Amino acid sequence: METVYVICVGILTFCGVFLCLRGRTFSVVVGLTMLSYAVNLFLFSSGRLSLDGAAILGMADKYADPLPQALTLTAIVIGFAMIAFVVILALRARADLGNDFVDGSEPLDSDKLVKPNRGKA
Amino acid sequence: MTLHLAILPILIPMIGGLLMLLPPFAGPLRYQYRRAGALFLMLTQVAVSVYLMYVVVQNGAIMYAVGDWRPPFGIILYVDQLSAMLVALTGFLGLAITLYSFAGDDREGKYFHPMVQFLLVGICGAFLTNDLFNLFVFFEVLLIASYTLLIHGGGKQKTAANLHYVILNLVGSSLFLFALGTLYGITGTLNIADMAMRVTQLSDGNQLIAQAGGSLMLIVFGLKAAMLPLHFWLPQTYAVASAPVAAMFAIMTKVGVYCIFRVYTVIFGEQAGELADMIQPWIWPLAILSIVAGTIGALASPNLRTLAGNLVVVSVGTLLIAFALRTPEATAAGLLYLIHSTIITGALFLIADMLGQQRGKALDYFVIARKMKQQALLGVMFVVAAMAVAGLPPFAGFLGKLVVLQSATNTDYTAWVWSIILISSLATIVALSRAGTTLFWRNTPSHDAAESPGISKWQLGGTGLLLIASPMLALFGASVIEYTNNAAEQLHDIPYLLEVMNLQGDAQ
């Protein structure tokens, strides 16, 4: 179980970091979402992974650490609000700046990358 | 009242800010009500925080268990002299920028005053809390308020700068949570005082993980504090924000610096066994390079706001040097410098805005433009601010830098600290005098200055409040130094912290 969990968190983090480094706000927003998922899973695992454990003492033989669950819940709420804010901000930037680039303008050489000169010579 | 005194600096702006969103205050035409409300709240905040400071000096540090959950389980607010001082400083700066904004800046959007109150909630909470996760929550509160304040007034430049600022800080928050998860997984606690005890009892393997978590946290605090190489967002962001907002942001980098002081003195300080002073070798070069980068930036700035932004980076570097010396004396010197640099960089942003109002399209750029209407008044204010920020006597900037230099004598780093701080001060003077020469003396001859708007009494009051604070700090220098000395000693006194927290019982 731990191995699968670790791989999941790792892949999510990797995708998140990769997407955050992209030039357009859309991918960056998706990247931030991925990162916050990864963070939530990571925080949850900080109380150790255990199956069939209740978070309340005396309800079961085994019990799980309740604090990381509370932390994750808080982190989810905050992360969700922040993602909502950045989506609105990205839309506003799209309207104000006229494009979807994080830097507010198209990088100089991106024309060639996006629209390769097909058919000519 | 006194029982719950410790939480009042958080509750007042929170409840006040919420009330200001409701009918008697809401709506674009009710701005007078909002102004009165904001002024009342700010005055209350200042009064409460000064009283809090008085109580802490008289009776020692206060431990406030929220919901009466005792440490190490509940969320604990811990008010020592350092936190009380910073809360009072925040209130003072907030009062000044609220007064300044009455000149009209607050009418560019409906939610200026409530948002400033929420920003205060976050900043005061971050200063008062003694719980790492709670610190994260207050960081987010202050950040979301700062996102909306940064875009206050609207415009292309603000949107572009805000996008960078928001994305950068969201990544920073994720890193913060990774660091928290790591530290919680290893130590099983989030209470700073409790964690300080637990890190000494870790096994070798776990120490390595704790070190990774602690270092990750340094990146987060460094990002907030604008420490090199994480400072690139700052000059641009501060330059586009509207003046009162930029002035209020002057305290936000200090939140990062405060967290570095608190966490790496208490948790990873000298008593932390194997992990003692683990980040000190990193802080040294970063602090010195921050000063160098800020100074070069100041020399190269095209306008006064960017110049002030770069001076913020310089002040952060100086504070980090005070941190890296790792003695209570150096910390005390740093605190004195912190109060002063926050107030004066705030004032510089306000002065830049007033200059810009009277120079037409040239704004505060260093180009030849028409003569200002109130040249003499603005000139005096600029000279006072410039001398104070560069550290010339008789202002408190001189005192702050002098004490930092003094605390660095007879250490291995004396040569480094002295040369870098003195050279950077000289370069700052050069940059500021070049700026002043262009702004005030190189005018186009013909233009009529009469049409530009005068400085309103609110603007004058807000800026004056900040500027007067500097000579006042120098005048009452002895008592201020005494206070910061005590605050620094309290910060370094971990057994005292554990005693206040009632934690020494399970130390062994």
Quick one: average pLDDT of A55-67?
80
SS (H, E, C) B26-82: CCHHHHHHHHHHHHHHHHHHHHHHHHHHHHHHHHCCEEEEHHHCCCCCCCEEEECHH
In which domain, by residue range, is B324 found? 5-503
Contact B171 A35 (CB under 8 A): yes
What CATH number should be reported for the domain holding residue A82? Answer: 1.10.287
- Whether residue A48 lies inside any domain: the answer is yes
pLDDT digits 0-9 by tens, B85-102: 999 999 999 999 999 999
Count how many domains chain A has: 1
Please name the helix (run of DSSP H) or strand (run of DSSP E) that holds residue B444, with its range, or none.
strand B443-444
Mutation choice for A interface testing from B138, B152, B157, B167 by most A CBs within 10 A: B167
Which residues between 131 and 150 in chain B have a beta carbon less than 8 angstroms from any beta carbon of chain A? 133, 137, 140, 144, 147
Say if CB B304 and CB B351 are below 8 A apart. Answer: yes
The CA distance from B32 to the nearest CA of chain A, in Å, is 29
DSSP string, B335-397: HHHHHHHHHHHHHHHHHHHHHHHHSGGGTTBSS-EEPPTTHHHHHHHHHHHHHHHHT-TTSHH
The CA-based angle B295-B301-B303, given to 5 degrees, is 135
Which residues between 87 and 116 in chain A have a beta carbon less than 8 angstroms from any beta carbon of chain B? 89-90, 92-93, 96-97, 102-104
Cβ contacts (< 8 Å) between B133 and chain A: which residues? Answer: 71, 74
Please give the Cα distance from B413 to B285 (Å, whole number). 11
Is B73 in the A-facing interface, judged by CB distances under 8 Å? Answer: no
Residue A105: pLDDT over 90: no
Contact B180 A48 (CB under 8 A): no
Contact A42 B181 (CB under 8 A): yes
- Whether residue A45 lies inside any domain: the answer is yes
- Whether residue B464 lies inside any domain: the answer is yes
Count how many domains chain B has: 1
pLDDT digits 0-9 by tens, A68-84: 889 999 999 999 999 99
In which domain, by residue range, is A19 found? 2-52+64-99
- Whether residue B314 lies inside any domain: the answer is yes
Q: Which residues of chain B have pLDDT under 50?
A: 507-508
The confidence score (pLDDT) of residue A4 equals 94
Q: What are the backbone dihedrals phi and psi of residue B191, each rounded to the nearest 5 degrees, phi first?
A: -70, 130
DSSP B446: S
Contact A85 B185 (CB under 8 A): no
The confidence score (pLDDT) of residue B507 equals 45
Kindly report the pTM of this predicted structure.
0.92
Question: Could you tell me the two tokens for B47?
Answer: 């009064």
Please give the Cα distance from B134 to B75 (Å, whole number). 7
Contact A71 B133 (CB under 8 A): yes
Say if CB B134 and CB B75 are below 8 A apart. Answer: yes
The confidence score (pLDDT) of residue B450 equals 60
- Whether residue B508 lies inside any domain: the answer is no
Q: Which of A16, A47, A75 sits opposite B177 (nearest CB)?
A: A75
The confidence score (pLDDT) of residue B508 equals 41
Contact B133 A46 (CB under 8 A): no
Please name the helix (run of DSSP H) or strand (run of DSSP E) that holds residue B443, with its range, or none.
strand B443-444
Residue of chain B whose Cα is closest to the Cα of A25 = B163
Please give the Cα distance from A43 to A33 (Å, whole number). 15
- Whether residue A104 lies inside any domain: the answer is no
Q: Which of B137, B162, B177 sits opposite A43 (nearest CB)?
A: B177
- Whether residue B263 lies inside any domain: the answer is yes
- Whether residue A85 lies inside any domain: the answer is yes
Q: b/e for A55-85, b at 16 or more Cβ within 10 A? A: eeeeeeeeebbebbeebbebbbebbeebbeb
Please give the Cα distance from A118 to A109 (Å, whole number). 16
pLDDT digits 0-9 by tens, B192-223: 988 888 888 888 888 899 999 999 999 999 99
Contact B167 A35 (CB under 8 A): no
- Whether residue B222 lies inside any domain: the answer is yes
Residue with tokens 């406030």: B64
Q: How far does chain A reach from its first CA to its final CA, in angstroms?
A: 56
The H helix count followed by the E strand count for chain A is: 4, 0
- Whether residue A70 lies inside any domain: the answer is yes
Residues in a beta bridge with B63: B78
The CA distance from B153 to the nearest CA of chain A, in Å, is 13
Say if CB B244 and CB B101 are below 8 A apart. Answer: yes
